[in-house]
Chains A and B, each alone.
Chain A
């Protein structure tokens, strides 16, 4: 099939999966024991209030009706209303998303760069100290529970380097005088570094192993022998034939893993009290604020679907053989 056909096929599949995800999301949160409102715990939640909630949320309507409302609501970008704060879910989630994205981006870029360097070096200098040491260190970080690494950071690194360990901004900033935009940015960045570093270190181990493995696989191929026979130096071979070919599995595996970073950043935000989506998830679940949880869940699922699709599309771009599959 031609590459355009393949792309269309993958996109179509992604869209179908999105619909299935939306439906599953709906079903999941409706099958939770008890009415969504029953379990609500908050200060102003008297029984009368809860009755009002029920009517507002349309929980007295039939399941099909609710489903229809839900899907049409989504189409217009309406994610519902938070049970705790009575504000729209969208406005509630906006800040957390704004906080989480840069932190994750920072951590992931760090992990990809360090992981790729380590992996390529380890494969090139195979079986030497650089390789063995690199593998052990990578495996070591990969095996650490994220929250534990976070705690270690707080315990040993924060004090030594003078970085803050919770929240996203220093409360005292701007009290003694006007804080410039630059100051605010720097302050935020400082708060992001430790969480991002923790995320980065845990991810880097995984990526280093993926890159090394892909490189070794590639370097064992026959065309590497041809390249060597032509007289190319080891480093040229690693660059032109090894890495370029290893990009296929590397890119797809990394793209796939991006969809699953979620596990990591929830506990990281919890440790650092970082007001992002992860912390919001935990708090919302704890307080049974289901509309929020449902929306976050949907967002995370979309993220996984998106990155899977990205992986598929990148694969087509990188491997001329896929087209003929």
Chain B
């Protein structure tokens, strides 16, 4: 089903002006300079993501205990020995949460990468070549979009096994569709720009056109979209593991939440087994969303114009040299 959507725009005035002049815009540099990328929310987002990535990388060094070993009593409350208490098997929650960051982030990034590759390729192909392959690809996308995502994931996960790779692939295969549409729209718009037509007229082959002229202009949008897909992928992983369909040998934040549920953490009032992994997931998803939104704003600055303000227009008294005319 097609929904009327906003047309893609040149992501800064330079690109539009360059288009009129028929020259190639210095897209990437201008994009990186956009003020939207300096917003506190963007910096917060980046900070959080970097923090958790570091935690994941250095997990074995940071864990106070072996996350799989019983190092305390069952559902022990937080104490100086166990900062976040223990789970239903007596394992240290803090170590578990730190260890969980690895799988959660890996799944998030990897699945988003898969989705980006599939969606990006389809979108580029569709948008660039147009015609019959475009129609076919878009019809397929429309039909895939209609399939309910979570139930499909549950079914495939239930049937095809619970390995890490499978989970990554499943998520990636389900969530490429919005990327494909977005990239297709952007590719179409870029393709019509003057410098591409000129390059084509000069005899550049399609691969060169795509690689050198179209792709750089599409890349920032693709990255912004991929960041948002990371958030969706992490969500999806928590759903799959919550329903008991994850790899039981892996520790992930989703797994910790599931464990708390099946281990009756609620009955034991063990909030420390429930809250921390969820907070981590929420923070990372929040961070990715903010980064993605800031990037999209940088690409599409017109949202900053506003005619209304609650504050009245501001008057200044004239002073000094301006007073006499």
Contact = CB atoms under 8 A, between A and B. Distances in A.
B133 to A, nearest CB: 19
A281 to B, nearest CB: 6
A263 B307 contact: no
B3 A252 contact: yes
Q: Kindly state the interface size class of chain A when it binds its partner.
A: 35 or more
Q: Kindly state the interface size class of chain B when it binds its partner.
A: 35 or more
Interface string A256-272: 10001011001100110
Interface in A143-157: 143-149, 151-152, 154-156
A245 interface: no
Contacts of B155: 285, 293, 297
B158 to A, nearest CB: 5
Contact of A311 (B3, B231, B265, B303): B3
B261 A17 contact: no
- Dominant secondary structure at the A interface: helix
Nearest to A238: B308
A168 interface: no
A205 to B, nearest CB: 10
Contacts of B150: 262-263, 266
Contacts of B152: 297
A155 B266 contact: yes
Contacts of A120: none
Given A13-B1, A220-B305, A228-B308, A152 B290 contact: no
B147 A24 contact: yes
A312 B261 CA distance: 40
Contacts of B3: 252, 256, 308, 311-312, 315
Contacts of A256: 3
A317 interface: no
A74 interface: no
B1 to A, nearest CB: 4
By CB atoms of chain B within 10 A, which of A140, A145, A216, A285 has the most? A145
Interface stretch (B117-125, B164-172, B192-200, B234-242): B234-242
B85 to A, nearest CB: 14
Interface string A276-307: 00000110011000000100110011011100
A301 B148 CA distance: 6
A126 B307 contact: no
Contact of B239 (A238, A263, A286, A311): A263
Nearest to B232: A263
Contacts of B306: 126, 216, 219-220
A128 B4 CA distance: 31
A125 interface: yes
Contacts of A252: 3-4
A63 interface: no
Nearest to B3: A252
Nearest to B270: A155
Given A281-B154, A300-B148, 6 more contacts: A126-B308, A143-B282, A144-B281, A216-B303, A216-B306, A293-B155
